[in-house]
Homo-oligomer: A and B are copies of this chain.
């Protein structure tokens, strides 16, 4: 919508895409290997891309061979393939409450029964999960976003990672570790993947927030048997992930010293933008409580004035500022006092104006409420 300022999106900042380096590798691909990059490729992925993802998976979790990697058309496809291959109607899927909407929708579309587990800034409360399992709840998958959870920003703590791994071994479920924001830790410190503690993990390694989303190339790490099963489903789904994007991104990741430099720049800028939005919220919106995030793209906020999040969202749209209210992320929990705000894409001027519009919109709602009461 023209003039709309968005604190709503889950989009990464386009000014932080490694555009110069990408232009160089795109040029290399067209010069050196156009015929291969423009042709069909293997179902499970171009070998160089599988190797890059295997290396990245090994650096951040358990040692990984290329045969343990499937290249998917974004991590959303990874979720969909898992649901198609592993879930029958009525199977139980444990997940945080609130959770990433795309995952909730995929599991619902598979007619799974959702088992929401509450959490806090240290992620899913594994004691609550353990109690549910002890009381006889059986589940097939446990879905977690372990770094800078969308929407809450929580980070699954080291103890809980170990505990979750133990529960997976004991009760025989598979952990789906969807970790797109891990590279965006402001202090650069990411925790080791849960697959360090158990084999019962499928990890989704997105590049959308780390490099850029436009090629729709992601990796999925699992056992070679599971990769074979998922590849058969993928062949029916879309034959293969686009060859060109795999050639480009594998070349980019193989550039010496590219990734650490790029990630360091990314973290510095996102941290600055998060601090800036935190300052604006603190100064201008005293009715909004939040914790300063440690990474990722989002502030998960609580409205302390009693205004309903969905009502505020509607009024905000009319005032030219987009936010996301809590309820769509929630399974059982009440999200009517929550807002998710992204600090990724707005300039300083735009962020200031967006927060101004939020302040005025909120004042309008509380004013009219006061007048009506």
Residues of A with Cβ closer than 8 Å to B? Answer: 11-12, 14-15, 17, 19, 22-23, 26-27, 30-31, 34-41, 73-74, 76-77, 80, 102, 105-106, 109, 208, 212-217, 235-245
Contacts and interface: CB of A to CB of B under 8 A. Distances in A.
Given A14-B36, A22-B38, A37-B214, 10 more contacts: A23-B31, A38-B214, A39-B213, A73-B73, A73-B216, A74-B239, A76-B236, A80-B237, A106-B236, A237-B237
A19 B26 contact: no
A216 B237 contact: no
A243 B208 CA distance: 12
Nearest to A108: B236
A40 to B, nearest CB: 5
By CB atoms of chain B within 10 A, which of A34, A102, A214, A245 has the most?
A214
Contacts of A214: 37-41, 242-244
A45 to B, nearest CB: 13
A215 B237 contact: no
A236 B38 contact: no
B39 A19 contact: no
A38 B26 contact: no
A366 to B, nearest CB: 35
Contacts of A240: 216
A216 B239 CA distance: 9
Contact of A17 (B35, B41, B212): B35
12 contacts: A11-B40, A14-B38, A19-B35, A23-B34, A76-B237, A76-B239, A80-B238, A215-B244, A216-B238, A216-B243, A242-B245, A245-B245
A196 B105 CA distance: 37
Contacts of A14: 35-36, 38-39
A76 B73 CA distance: 13
Contacts of A34: 17, 19, 22-23
A19 B30 contact: yes
Contacts of A40: 11, 208, 213-214
A30 B31 CA distance: 15
By CB atoms of chain B within 10 A, which of A217, A236, A239 has the most?
A236
Contacts of A74: 238-239
A44 to B, nearest CB: 15
Given A27-B27, A215-B244, A245-B244, A239 B102 contact: yes
A106 B232 CA distance: 11
Nearest to A233: B109
A77 B38 contact: no
Contact of A35 (B15, B73, B77): B15
A365 B238 CA distance: 38
A3 to B, nearest CB: 19
Nearest to A240: B216
By CB atoms of chain B within 10 A, which of A217, A238, A241, A243 has the most?
A238
By CB atoms of chain B within 10 A, which of A36, A76, A239, A245 has the most?
A239
B242 A216 contact: yes
Nearest to A345: B39
Given A106-B236, A239-B76, A244-B245, A213 B38 contact: yes
A27 to B, nearest CB: 7
Nearest to A81: B237
Nearest to A217: B242
A14 B38 CA distance: 8
A113 to B, nearest CB: 17
